[in-house]
Chains A and B, each alone.
Chain A
Amino acid sequence: MVRLQQRVWKTFSLVLAGLACHTMAATAQRILPDDPITKVPETESAQKAAVQTINAIYDFVYHSAKYKTPPPTPSLGINTLGDVPDSSWFSNRPQLSVADLKKGPRVHGTPQPPFTVVAAKTEGVTPGFRIQDGRGLSYFIKVDPKSNPEMATAADVMGSLFLYAAGYNVSENYILLAHREDFRLSEKATITALSGKKHPMNHAQLDRILDSVPTEAGDRIRLMASLSMEGRIIGPFRYESVRSDDPNDLIPHQQRRDLRGLEVLFAWLNHTDAKGGNSLDSVVGKGADARVVHHLLDFGDSFGSDSDIAKDPRHGQEDWLPTSGEQGKRALTFGLVPAKWEGVKYPHELPAVGNFTAAAFDPLAWKPNYPNPAFLAMTPQDGYWGAKRVMSFSDEDIRAIAEEGQFSKPAATNYATKVLIERRNLIGRAWFSRVAPLEDFAISDARLHYTDLGTKYDLLPAGSYNFSWFSFDNQSGHETPASGSSDVLPSDLASSGVGSFIGCTLINREETHKRVTVIFRRDVNGWQPVEIERTAM
């Protein structure tokens, strides 16, 4: 059914494309000479891109009401191998060294004293303020709740480092250990009151904010400093539709694989506040060079943290509105039949990690605080792509980033590392079971070689596959079966010349719906994979 709908969509897409170009050439090639592309050419100036806002209440209500999974739509923003090329949204970062993982996007360094406070939010539950450091750089400052010292600040730093390493654009987040006397108040400092109005800020108000911050050993206070984004800030992006004022933003966001697959990374990190409001676009460059760069930010609601309190156990498990059968069952049974997640044990002896656990974590059922349209539209192929990003983090990588949370107790670092490893493996097992998790296709020595990620990561037993070889006509898209039925390249295909295409479909013997079709193009160096199509459950 999914394949049928995809084909209908493809046909519809073709019609639209034809309308746009006034002609539908009969000689269209499926695979173009530069396929698979590794970078999206973003060539047009985005100088005219203006500030966009998202109404938080509307966003919440609108998306909460649209909690049902929409009919499947194809994933876009991918190359012919199903990978996401580099763009203003995502960068395929090579395997980073431990030092680079720890550094992440952070090139400017921790704020340098003295810290001049230039603005503050209210003195409310989660106070925050903005400073200029001794070098004149502007940072946003956030704090931990007194009930859970180190929790929210560590979450913000760790979250940004993991997502940067995974390929996303994030802010430079730092743990800042400072003395109160390092802070001074700008004469022009303002504070935004509960009414929304700004008033001149006084020392007593600054003291009250600093009073609410847990104090570390040596009378230092611990804060999270997030460097202001580079470029002209134009507000958050939406997880659906496109920006109408950015010429390079062509693909509906809810269909972008890098945003759909982000669900898997957010599930791993338990980043439940996955709303458009926690993103930021900026225009980098000027004139003809102006480009919109899309960032993720605000990871204080990740891991075991809900910023001002330990993570609500419901977050990640259920929608804000009662929408599931399990919730109905709980309502009717007086709560006497609890959900599995309701009874899990949290590490209350480690308040710095909050309510973070791998117990009762179901990667396929994980939910953000309220529905995200890109996440709802995620296909198994998107999930698989996201799971590959998650699985690319080794145990050592995870520990290296967890250490950047700068927990004062090694037990907290150990616990966060352990839980992330467990959650990573659950993700790999869940998503690699939904498709044929085969990668690294190559033909050498007249054989088809590939890597089964399930066995590579020791998560799943090796799958056994039937092989169907064919020659491929790139003009007509016609596939002509060849004689081979093993991983050995059939002799009638092996003699194909440069520029010819062949393919092989691998069908899982136990679960025949799991299949991968890979098409190779012969160039002067041999057979190169140029298209992978993966079907799923």
Chain B
Amino acid sequence: MTNSLFRNIAVCSVATLSCIASFAQDPPPATSASRSSSIVDAESAKAKSLLPVAPPHGEQTFDRYEERIVDPLTDPNGLTFKLGGLPTGGGFSLGPRYVRRDWLKEHLTSDTYVVGSTKKWYRGASALNFVGLMNNHLEFNANGAYENAASMPYYGEGPDSSKSNRSDFRREFTTAHFGGQVHFLDKRLSAGYAAGGLLVNVGPGDLGGWPSTDQIFNEANTPGLEKQSNFITGTASMVANLSTQGFSNPKGLVVEADDTQFWDQSGNNASFHRLQTQATYYVPFMNGMRTLAFRARNETTFHDPTQQVPFYLQPTLGGPDDLRGYERYRFYGNGASVLSGEYRWSVAESLELAVFGDGGNVYDRPGLIGLRDLRGDGGFGVRFKNKQQTIMRFDVGVSPEGVKVWFVFNSVFGRPFRSY
């Protein structure tokens, strides 16, 4: 209030003085013998009532909120809060977060958070990272997490699962990993390995309106439903970023692959490994204001004939990141392939529109996917961006199963979220 009053007084004073001093258009007061003396008089008058320089009231308010809200989100160090952090379908999530990035001259960072969502999904995670070692060529990570996905949808296995068989189950994953990564060529090429463990608990879902999965399916058609395993895991990963910086989108190819070996420790014959590969290719044209973007993703599981893949670790399709005309987790299978294409056009630096098409499906064994089983969709997207980065997007996907509207805070062709 006081600031506002001072500001109003200052503005009025300055307006008055400026009128005196606006040399050409406005006559000076008659007391001034010359233009110069009228200006000198105005300067003298202002000199007697100087005020400390201060930002406008709105900016001062913003400064305070930026310090409390924006900085902790964008540049966290210390106790703050976290938005998001759950797998897709978890709903709006929020929780406390403690981040340190200033240990060992910023070579040791830690990030611990607990988030809960409106759908009663929870995740608590803690990570310790040694970064920037050997001239930014090496890093080590240790992390652990507990995740309670209280209402995972399940429609049955395979491409022909029926939408009417929607059920839901609770999936609890407790994980711990230790790993390292090496980086080359300014982090354009990275490779790493992480070893750890995964404890699993599956139970009835928490979402009303849908039957629990165990009421519709059984262990015979849904491996792992009754007998859950605990695993030792080992994940090898590689990323090759061959793209260059662009205006709305990058230009070129990004290839990612990771392979996770699951060693069943519970005697349930559930040892397998899951290989995921993804290639994303961007073709900007018209000075980068239009882009054709393609993404091919394949996830395949491999196991001995005596082993099987539990349903809660099977690849899935459906949702805002792959088959956008279908429900989240609509298809489960031992493998999944999806090909997406987008035509994007920039409307402004902050806004990009897109039309897209997705095609793909799940399969039981590699090679079993065919055109007959292909599930496809098309749609329209609105992306709010800061240069190449998508801040949030609004995608509408249309498929034979209906129209799906997605409002999410990620890039459509980004790396998939991994809970294990």
Binding site for B on A (CB under 8 A): 6, 10, 13-14, 16-21, 23-30, 32-37, 40-45, 48-55, 57-59, 62, 74-82, 85, 147, 193-197, 199-200, 204, 208, 234, 241-248, 250-252, 255, 309, 312-314, 318-323, 327, 330-331, 334-335, 338, 342-344, 346, 355, 477, 531
**26 CB < 8 A contacts A-B:** A16-B19, A20-B17, A21-B31, A23-B30, A30-B27, A32-B33, A57-B66, A58-B55, A74-B25, A76-B22, A77-B22, A79-B24, A193-B101, A199-B105, A242-B14, A245-B51, A248-B43, A250-B14, A250-B18, A250-B20, A252-B14, A313-B247, A320-B350, A331-B351, A335-B347, A477-B27
Query: Is A312's CB under 8 angstroms from B349's CB?
Result: yes
Query: Is B62's CB under 8 angstroms from A17's CB?
Result: no
Cα of A346 to Cα of B25 in the assembled complex, Å: 44
Cα of A462 to Cα of B40 in the assembled complex, Å: 42
B35 sits at the interface (CB 8 A): yes
Query: Is A19's CB under 8 angstroms from B75's CB?
Result: no
Collect the chain B residues with CB atoms within 8 Å of residue A59's CB. 59
* B residues 123-171 in Cβ contact with A at 8 Å: 135-136
Given contacts A55-B55, A74-B22, A194-B75, contact A33 B34 (CB under 8 A): yes
B266 sits at the interface (CB 8 A): no
Query: Is B26's CB under 8 angstroms from A313's CB?
Result: no
Collect the chain B residues with CB atoms within 8 Å of residue A34's CB. 34-36
Query: Is B34's CB under 8 angstroms from A32's CB?
Result: yes
Number of A-B contacts (CB under 8 A): 254
- Shortest distance between the CB of B349 and any CB in chain A (Å): 5
Q: Mark B48-74, 1 if CB is under 8 A from A, else 0.
A: 001111111011001100100010000
Given contacts A44-B46, A55-B62, A245-B52, contact A25 B30 (CB under 8 A): yes
Cα of A331 to Cα of B380 in the assembled complex, Å: 12
Query: Is B31's CB under 8 angstroms from A344's CB?
Result: no
B355 sits at the interface (CB 8 A): yes
- Shortest distance between the CB of B373 and any CB in chain A (Å): 31
Query: Is A313's CB under 8 angstroms from B289's CB?
Result: yes
Query: Is B75's CB under 8 angstroms from A195's CB?
Result: yes
Collect the chain A residues with CB atoms within 8 Å of residue B95's CB. none
Query: Is A244's CB under 8 angstroms from B52's CB?
Result: yes
Which among A55, A80, A244, A338 has the greatest number of chain B C-beta atoms within 10 A? A244
Collect the chain B residues with CB atoms within 8 Å of residue A247's CB. 43-44, 46-47, 50
Query: Is B36's CB under 8 angstroms from A344's CB?
Result: no
- Shortest distance between the CB of A10 and any CB in chain B (Å): 6
Given A36-B24, A244-B54, 15 more contacts at CB 8 Å?
A32-B38, A34-B36, A40-B39, A54-B59, A193-B101, A193-B102, A244-B51, A248-B46, A251-B21, A309-B247, A313-B288, A321-B348, A334-B343, A334-B345, A342-B286
Given contacts A17-B29, A44-B47, contact A58 B58 (CB under 8 A): yes
- Shortest distance between the CB of B328 and any CB in chain A (Å): 28
B106 sits at the interface (CB 8 A): yes
Cα of A42 to Cα of B46 in the assembled complex, Å: 12
Cα of A335 to Cα of B343 in the assembled complex, Å: 10
Collect the chain B residues with CB atoms within 8 Å of residue A255's CB. 18, 22
Given contacts A37-B36, A250-B14, A314-B289, contact A322 B21 (CB under 8 A): no
Collect the chain A residues with CB atoms within 8 Å of residue B55's CB. 52-55, 58
In the complex, residue of chain A having the shortest beta-carbon distance to the beta carbon of B344: A335
Query: Is A37's CB under 8 angstroms from B22's CB?
Result: no
Query: Is B21's CB under 8 angstroms from A344's CB?
Result: no
Query: Is A147's CB under 8 angstroms from B26's CB?
Result: no
Collect the chain A residues with CB atoms within 8 Å of residue B40's CB. 41, 43
B245 sits at the interface (CB 8 A): yes
Query: Is B29's CB under 8 angstroms from A331's CB?
Result: no
- Shortest distance between the CB of A182 and any CB in chain B (Å): 22
Cα of A147 to Cα of B340 in the assembled complex, Å: 30
Which among B11, B36, B343 has the greatest number of chain A C-beta atoms within 10 A? B36
B307 sits at the interface (CB 8 A): no
B273 sits at the interface (CB 8 A): no
- Shortest distance between the CB of B379 and any CB in chain A (Å): 14
- Shortest distance between the CB of A135 and any CB in chain B (Å): 32
Cα of A76 to Cα of B14 in the assembled complex, Å: 13
B28 sits at the interface (CB 8 A): yes
B16 sits at the interface (CB 8 A): yes
Query: Is B18's CB under 8 angstroms from A314's CB?
Result: no
- Shortest distance between the CB of B246 and any CB in chain A (Å): 9
- Shortest distance between the CB of A318 and any CB in chain B (Å): 6
Binding site for A on B (CB under 8 A): 10-11, 14-36, 38-40, 42-47, 50-56, 58-59, 62-63, 66, 70, 75, 77, 101-102, 105-106, 135-136, 244-245, 247, 286-290, 343, 345-351, 353, 355
Cα of A320 to Cα of B106 in the assembled complex, Å: 34
Given contacts A25-B30, A43-B44, A250-B17, contact A343 B287 (CB under 8 A): yes
- Shortest distance between the CB of B225 and any CB in chain A (Å): 46
Query: Is A531's CB under 8 angstroms from B24's CB?
Result: yes
User: Helix, strand, loop or mixed for chain B's interface?
Assistant: mixed
Cα of A27 to Cα of B46 in the assembled complex, Å: 26
Query: Is B35's CB under 8 angstroms from A28's CB?
Result: no
Query: Is A195's CB under 8 angstroms from B23's CB?
Result: no
Query: Is B348's CB under 8 angstroms from A319's CB?
Result: yes
- Shortest distance between the CB of B65 and any CB in chain A (Å): 10
Cα of A237 to Cα of B244 in the assembled complex, Å: 36
Cα of A41 to Cα of B47 in the assembled complex, Å: 14
Query: Is A327's CB under 8 angstroms from B347's CB?
Result: yes
Query: Is A28's CB under 8 angstroms from B29's CB?
Result: yes
- Shortest distance between the CB of B269 and any CB in chain A (Å): 47
Cα of A48 to Cα of B52 in the assembled complex, Å: 8
Cα of A318 to Cα of B102 in the assembled complex, Å: 40
Collect the chain B residues with CB atoms within 8 Å of residue A74's CB. 22, 25-26
- Shortest distance between the CB of B75 and any CB in chain A (Å): 7
- Shortest distance between the CB of B162 and any CB in chain A (Å): 36
Cα of A335 to Cα of B35 in the assembled complex, Å: 56
Cα of A120 to Cα of B291 in the assembled complex, Å: 37
- Shortest distance between the CB of A235 and any CB in chain B (Å): 8
Which among A17, A204, A314, A477 has the greatest number of chain B C-beta atoms within 10 A? A17
Cα of A35 to Cα of B62 in the assembled complex, Å: 44
Query: Is B75's CB under 8 angstroms from A196's CB?
Result: yes
Collect the chain A residues with CB atoms within 8 Å of residue B50's CB. 48, 244-247
Cα of A331 to Cα of B289 in the assembled complex, Å: 12
Cα of A335 to Cα of B11 in the assembled complex, Å: 46
Given contacts A58-B62, A250-B18, A335-B290, contact A27 B30 (CB under 8 A): yes
Query: Is B43's CB under 8 angstroms from A19's CB?
Result: no
Cα of A535 to Cα of B35 in the assembled complex, Å: 24
In the complex, residue of chain A having the shortest beta-carbon distance to the beta carbon of B101: A195
Collect the chain A residues with CB atoms within 8 Å of residue B32's CB. 32
Collect the chain B residues with CB atoms within 8 Å of residue A335's CB. 289-290, 345-347, 353
Query: Is B24's CB under 8 angstroms from A82's CB?
Result: yes
Cα of A35 to Cα of B21 in the assembled complex, Å: 13
Query: Is A322's CB under 8 angstroms from B105's CB?
Result: no
Which among B33, B44, B105, B353 has the greatest number of chain A C-beta atoms within 10 A? B105
In the complex, residue of chain B having the shortest beta-carbon distance to the beta carbon of A345: B287
Cα of A131 to Cα of B150 in the assembled complex, Å: 57
Cα of A53 to Cα of B15 in the assembled complex, Å: 23
Query: Is A17's CB under 8 angstroms from B349's CB?
Result: no
Query: Is A13's CB under 8 angstroms from B29's CB?
Result: no
In the complex, residue of chain B having the shortest beta-carbon distance to the beta carbon of A257: B24
Contact of B53 among A14, A50, A309, A330 (CB under 8 A): A50
Cα of A14 to Cα of B19 in the assembled complex, Å: 7
Query: Is B136's CB under 8 angstroms from A76's CB?
Result: no
Collect the chain A residues with CB atoms within 8 Å of residue B21's CB. 76-77, 250-251
In the complex, residue of chain B having the shortest beta-carbon distance to the beta carbon of A312: B247
Cα of A511 to Cα of B15 in the assembled complex, Å: 35
- Shortest distance between the CB of B129 and any CB in chain A (Å): 13
Contact of A80 among B17, B23, B355 (CB under 8 A): B23
Contact of A330 among B22, B63, B347 (CB under 8 A): B347
4 smallest CB-CB distances across A and B, nearest first, come from A25-B30, A335-B345, A247-B47, A13-B19
In the complex, residue of chain B having the shortest beta-carbon distance to the beta carbon of A326: B347
Cα of A330 to Cα of B345 in the assembled complex, Å: 8
Which among A20, A318, A344 has the greatest number of chain B C-beta atoms within 10 A? A20
